Amino acid sequence: MNRVTIDLPELTEDLYNDVRLYLGEMHQAVASHSIEVAICARQLAKRFNDDQRAAEIGGLLHDISAVIPNERRVELAELLEINVLSEERKLPMIIHQKLSKYMAKELFRIKDESILSAIECHTTLKRDFYQLDMIVFLADKIKWDHSGEPPYLEELLTALDISLEKASLIYLDYLFNSEPAVIHPWAKEAQEKLRNITN
Ligand SMILES: [Fe+2]
Ligand SMILES: [Fe+2]
């Protein structure tokens, strides 16, 4: 079996450019998506009085593990001693959030735990989330990486006028109503908690 190798990023003062260069030609769509998410996360942080730079960095790096092919994700996560859940084994795409956290910390030298947390749960959210987790999570859903407008967008944006919690619940309800390939426990726990605190 070939070893999984990860290139080291060249770090400058400009993280936007570093991310674009690191993702390279092959992952330009991910780079564009990451930049849109970063800008959106920054705006949400401003609106909800959170750390704008932290939100922006979370957005820029949330999908940085796109450089790792899907079929190598489980193997790499195990090599890095990342806890792989059975749901993630079944749908390795979901581990990209944990691998992105690892890469943000070890390769992009991000030390702020709140940024690392937001990257780690940007796909699923988690039970004990912070506000910044919801900000990066929602920015990723508002600026989704598919074509066209997300089917939940209008309802999510309306809920955002009430709270980040209401908006996060709109997305998770949409997710579970659309028969996902796996039920990730972090998403389920986040949904339950959001239901309790928004009622
Ligand atoms: Fe992602
Ligand atoms: Fe994303």
Kindly identify the ligand whose nearest atom is closest to the C-alpha of 139: 2
- Spacing, Cα 33 to ligand 2 middle (Å): 7
- Spacing, Cα 10 to ligand 2 middle (Å): 22
Quote the CA–CA distance of 182 and 152 in Å, as a whole number. 20
- Spacing, Cα 34 to ligand 2 middle (Å): 6
Burial of 187 (0-12, 13-18, 19+ CB in 10 A): buried
- Spacing, Cα 97 to ligand 1 middle (Å): 6
Kindly identify the ligand whose nearest atom is closest to the C-alpha of 66: 1
Those residues whose beta carbon sits under 5 angstroms from the ion ligand 2 are 63, 140
Kindly identify the ligand whose nearest atom is closest to the C-alpha of 32: 2
Stated as kind and residue range, the H or E segment containing 165 is helix 164-177
Kindly identify the ligand whose nearest atom is closest to the C-alpha of 100: 1
Kindly identify the ligand whose nearest atom is closest to the C-alpha of 59: 2
- Report DSSP letters for 46-96, one per residue: HHTT--HHHHHHHHHHTTGGGGS-GGGHHHHHHHTTPPPPHHHHHSGGGGH
pLDDT given for residue 129 in this prediction: 98
Give me the tens of pLDDT residue by residue for the chain, a chain 199 residues long.
456 678 889 999 999 999 999 999 999 999 999 999 999 999 999 999 999 999 999 999 999 999 999 999 999 999 999 999 999 999 999 999 999 999 999 999 999 999 999 999 999 999 999 999 999 999 999 999 888 999 999 999 999 999 999 999 999 999 999 999 999 999 999 999 999 999 8
Per-domain boundaries in the chain: 15-144
pLDDT given for residue 2 in this prediction: 57
Quote the CA–CA distance of 90 and 139 in Å, as a whole number. 26
CATH topology of domain 15-144: Hypothetical protein af1432 (1.10.3210)
Quote the CA–CA distance of 190 and 126 in Å, as a whole number. 5
